[in-house]
Amino acid sequence: MDCFNIEKDSSFVRIFHAAPNAPGVDIYVDDSLLFSNIRFQDFTSYVPLEKGEYKVDVYPTNSKEKPVISQMLEIKGGNMFTIAATGNIDDLSLLVIGDYISKETSDDYSTFRAIHLSPEAPAVDVLVDGETLFKDIKFRQGTSYVDVKPDQYKIKIALTSNGDVVLPFKVNLKPNRIYTIYVVGDLDDLSAIQSVDGNTYICK
């Protein structure tokens, strides 16, 4: 992937479909089609947008009769954002997540954070190799980035209330990479989506 140059008057934006019960969707920005047929767990590519306020309408794929989301979003300049479609079908909204360009990569470490996007799951903790790294992450909330030694790790997502593990998985974290681990899906069918964030590729 080519590196990104970020101008102060624009940002790069991508869409993440994180609503487990919503259909595939088309994304319109100020009434112009920007992305089509985005399905649950799909990411779009990053695209540049000038800073400003935009009307974002999300329709079921190939339909423009009634949006499942219609929301005004302010995009600030000089950054990168992941905009996640979140919630259940009767309570959908867009969540703007900063993919902070100030975070730098390194040969010596990998970087990651976790974001809770499962609408039915209560607050969760994140355990890494048996140790609690993040606590009490609620729906539509996330953690700060942390730097760790590049390696493979055993991750457990556990309920904050009683410690029950609801999602165990492994991740391979490489040097010179910045990741977000998104927890998505219904409580009885959770998944962890490991994304390489665009700030990995900021031009130095």
Nearest to 132 by CA among 160, 96, 161: 160
Q: Is the domain of 195 the same as that of 165?
A: yes
Over residues 78-111, the pLDDT tens digits come to 999 999 999 999 899 999 999 999 999 999 999 9
Q: Are residues 118 and 188 in the same domain?
A: yes
Task: Tell me the residue range of the domain where 116 lies.
Answer: 110-201
pLDDT above 70 for 19: yes
Domain stop point among 42, 75, 98: 98
48 lies in a domain? yes
pLDDT tens by residue, 144-193:
999 999 999 999 999 999 999 999 999 999 999 999 999 999 999 999 99
Confidence class for position 1, pLDDT limits 50, 70, 90: low
Residue 39 placed within a domain = yes
Q: How far apart are CA 154 and CA 66, in angstroms?
A: 43
Residue 130 domain flag: yes
Is it the case that residue 203 has pLDDT exceeding 90? no
Q: What per-residue confidence (pLDDT) applies to 204?
A: 73
SS3 readout for the chain: CCCECCCCCEEEEEEEECCCCCCCEEEEECCEEEEEEECCCCECCCEEEECEEEEEEEEECCCCCCCCEEEEEEECCCCEEEEEEECCCCCCEEEEEECCCCCCCCCCCEEEEEEECCCCCCCEEEEECCEEEEEEECCCCECCCEEECCEEEEEEEEECCCCCEEEEEEEEECCCCEEEEEEEEECCEEEEEEEECHHHHECC
Structure tokens at 33: 């089609």
User: Based on the structure, what is the number of domains in the chain?
Assistant: 2
Same domain, 130 and 194: yes
**Cβ(126)–Cβ(137) under 8 Å?**
yes
The answer to the question of residue 4 being in a domain is: no
In a domain, 103, yes or no: no
Structural domain contains residue 146: yes
Of 101, 111, 85, the residue nearest 12 (C-alpha): 101
What residues contact 107, with CB distance under 8 A and at least 6 apart?
175, 176
Write down the pLDDT at residue 167.
Answer: 98
Tokens of 32: 């112009």
Q: Are 72 and 53 in contact (CB under 8 A)?
A: yes
Same domain flag for 115 and 137: yes
Is 134 found in the same domain as 57?
no
Distance CA 158, CA 168 (A): 9
Residue that finishes a domain, picked among 48, 63, 98 = 98
Question: What are the backbone dihedrals phi and psi of residue 52, each rounded to the nearest 5 degrees, phi first?
Answer: 150, -175
Q: What is the CATH number of the domain that holds 159?
A: 2.60.40.1120
Asked whether residue 5 is assigned to any structural domain, the reply reads no
Q: Residues 118, 165: one domain? A: yes
